[in-house]
């Protein structure tokens, strides 16, 4: 996958847990964990918006493009 999810890094910098973020944005801790561990296939813009609001970050802090095809 060419998109890396850095939610674990942002959470560590903010000293927040998966449960803290899940409660603040209104989704289950399991769904936050799926995203944090890079197993999510998609994310709603509204969820990304809430994550950025709660963590006081930019979307680029959470998501990063990685070129898979570099030799």
What pTM did the predictor assign?
A: 0.87
pLDDT tens-digit map of 16-65 = 999 999 999 999 999 999 999 989 999 999 999 999 999 999 999 999 99
Domains and CATH numbers, the chain: 3-64 (1.10.260.40)
Token pair of 61 as six digits: 């802090």
Predicted pLDDT of residue 70: 66
What confidence score (pLDDT) does residue 55 get?
A: 97
Query: Element (H or E) spanning 63, and its range?
Result: strand 63-65
Q: What is the pLDDT of residue 2?
A: 87
Task: Give the other-Cβ count within 10 Å of 36's Cβ.
Answer: 20
């Amino acid at each position: 996958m060419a998109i890396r999810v850095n939610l674990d890094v942002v959470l560590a910098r903010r000293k927040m847990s998966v449960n803290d973020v899940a409660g603040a944005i209104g989704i289950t801790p399991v769904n936050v964990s799926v995203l944090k561990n890079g197993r999510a296939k998609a994310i709603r813009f509204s969820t990304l918006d809430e994550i950025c609001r709660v963590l006081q970050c930019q979307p680029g802090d959470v998501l990063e493009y990685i070129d898979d095809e570099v030799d």
